[in-house]
Amino acid sequence: MIYPDTENEGNSSAGRKDGGKRDSKGNPTKRASAGRASTGGAGGQKAQLPSKEDFSQWYHELLMTGEIIDNRYPVKGMCVWFPFGFAIKKKVYGIIRELLDPDHQETLFPLMIPENEFMKEAQHIKGFEEEVYWVTCGGTTPLDVKLALRPTSETAIYPMFKLWIRSHADMPLRIYQIVNTFRYETKHTRPLIRLREITSFKEAHTVHATWEEAAEQVEEAIKRYSEFYRRLAIPFLVSRRPSWDKFPGADYTTAIDVIMPDGRTLQVGTAHHLGSTFARTYEITYEAEDGEQRLVNQTCYGISERCIAALISVHGDDRGLALPWEVAPVQVVIVPILLGDKERVLEVCRDLKRTLQADSIRVELDTSDERPGAKFYKWEMKGVPLRLEVGPRDIERGVVTVVRRDGEKLALPREGLACALLAEAEKLQVELFRRAEASARARMGEAASIEEARALAGSGVALVPWCGEEECGHRLEEQVGANMLGQPQYQSFSPAACAVCGKVTEKRTYMARQY
């Protein structure tokens, strides 16, 4: 299901290091300048992005040309944020903080985890043991205890929970942090999607008295994540991961996936019910109201900068980024059309900028020497939602020409312009989601057989009848040649025959190739 309304419910590719185009001999083509597209000066000549149909090349080129991420740092799988990309990230993570802060407390735990604490939870560690970076020396002195650079923070946080939790009055405890994590990826890395340093990992950890209260918190986490992606105008799928693909140490995992333009899915959020697994390992207990000592129940849930990869990929087009109003570093750009009385045009543009800024709109006035066509290209590439063009004729008529990022063009009166622009921003948000949803739905289909599932999962997501048995699940993955995302949540289905064993079932599973 795409874009579920949880309000009404009961309650892991080859990326080139240069990231760009290549000539007929396979050599990187020369850029105008690092991370910047050439607008070419005279005649508005500009370097074109590859077509989005060639998604991999388009994605890598846009990250550089749109000044999001520079992938040329000399450590594989570690990237540098351009200031413009970092500004997008700040806006996106501002939404996350807004959604969590009412009942979560933001905190910060150390990066390094002692080996003896890290190795306590065997099932959890088995899921990460091949990905851990170890610090073994301080200067030239070998350490008595090796230190792990966190791949995730359960083993750093939960020894402290043992000290913090004493009685039922200490719960529920809800904290989160936004930190970098390190994983020694052996697969091909891809900026924002598969990295060795995840620079912006939001992980929340909660503690509850009962298993049922923790289950309610998982549902609440999915509800917050659903709101987060709604505000980014991104359609998504919610599924319960199969038992062999849940978070190591969890009772179960619920995940959010986005269908990318090439039909693969990207996991962009997870919520894990941990039960008492870690509480047992780290001896996290509380005194119940009856005086008994009992193990706590826990959850954890996370989002990384993959959310920005999805934002860029879902909404971007052959002209560049297309950003929702809320997260665009520049919401409005004013481009003066300098004909006739140029000083008069500039005076009106400066006045417009002041007026819009007074209404808390993030606005830029482009007074560079480039021609209008080159300016239009530059700001379209950066995904600015609204462009204002102001020339002598516009001034005479008391209007400005407004061009939305989706191509809609109209004239609006200068009087009351801020309110009118906010209305256009709302329309643009609706159109961004409409287009994204149509694209996602076009890549989904129901399959009654292995053959149909194989055809659908080759370029999108197949919804396949599955009895729920692990043996049939593994056979599905093997025969379809795709990953099982898991059972769709918040939906019901008619009885159908399991695509493997033929047993009648009301269960379904999503199947797709994953990043």
Do residues 307 and 165 share a domain? yes
Mean pLDDT value of segment 1-6:
45
Instruction: Report whether pLDDT(17) > 90.
Output: no
**Residue 2: what pLDDT?**
53
How far is residue 276's CA from residue 295's CA, in Å, rounded to a whole number? Answer: 6
**What's the mean pLDDT in 172-190?**
93
Closest by CA to 512, choosing from 489, 482, 486, is 482
**Token couple for 318:** 């052959």
The torsion of the CA quartet 494, 500, 503, 506, rounded to 10 degrees, works out to -20
Residue 499 and residue 508: Cα distance in Å, rounded? 10
DSSP letters spanning 8-65: GS-------SS-S-B-TTSPBPPPSBTTB----SGGG--PPPPPTTSHHHHHHHHHHH
Is 268 domain-assigned?
yes
Last residue of a domain, one of 315, 334, 361: 315
More confident residue, 47 or 267: 267
Give the pLDDT band of residue 121 (cuts 50, 70, 90).
Answer: confident
* Contact status, residue 432 vs residue 404, Cβ threshold 8 Å: no
Query: Do 341 and 306 lie in a common domain?
Result: no
Task: Report yes or no on 350 lying in a domain.
Answer: yes
**Per-residue pLDDT, 363:** 98
Q: How many independent structural domains does the chain possess?
A: 3
**Given this model, what pLDDT does residue 42 score?**
33
pLDDT over 70 (residue 21): no
Per-residue pLDDT tens over the stretch 46-63: 568 999 999 999 999 999
Q: How far apart are CA 96 and CA 326, in angstroms?
A: 12
* Helix (H) / strand (E) containing 199: strand 197-208
CA of residue 332 relative to chain centroid, distance: 24
Average pLDDT, the chain: 91
Task: Name 110's Cβ contacts closer than 8 Å, sequence gap at least 6.
Answer: 156
pLDDT digit string (tens) for 205-262? 999 999 999 999 999 999 999 999 999 999 999 999 999 999 989 999 999 999 999 9
pLDDT above 70 coverage of the chain, percent: 90
| C-alpha 285, offset from chain centre | 35
Q: Is the pLDDT of residue 30 over 50?
A: no
- Can you give the pLDDT at residue 19? 37
Quick one: average pLDDT of 444-461?
A: 96
Residue 67 has pLDDT above 90, yes or no: yes
Q: What is the CATH number of the domain that holds 477?
A: 3.30.110.30
> What are 410-426's pLDDT values in tens digits?
999 999 999 999 999 99
372 shares its domain with 427: yes
Check whether residue 136 and residue 225 sit in a common domain: yes
Same domain, 268 and 333: no
Considering the domain boundaries, does residue 51 fall inside one? Answer: no
CATH for 413? 3.40.50.800
Could you tell me which residues are beta bridge partners of residue 336?
390
Domain membership of residue 169 as a residue range? 75-315
Task: Tell me which of 385, 400, 435 is where a domain ends.
Answer: 435
- pLDDT for res 124: 67
Half-sphere exposure of residue 177, counting CA atoms within 13 Å on the CB side?
Answer: 16
Q: How many CB atoms lie within 10 A of CB 160?
A: 14
Q: Is residue 24 part of a domain?
A: no
- CB within 8 Å of 482: residues ≥ 6 apart: 453, 454, 457, 458, 462, 511, 512, 513
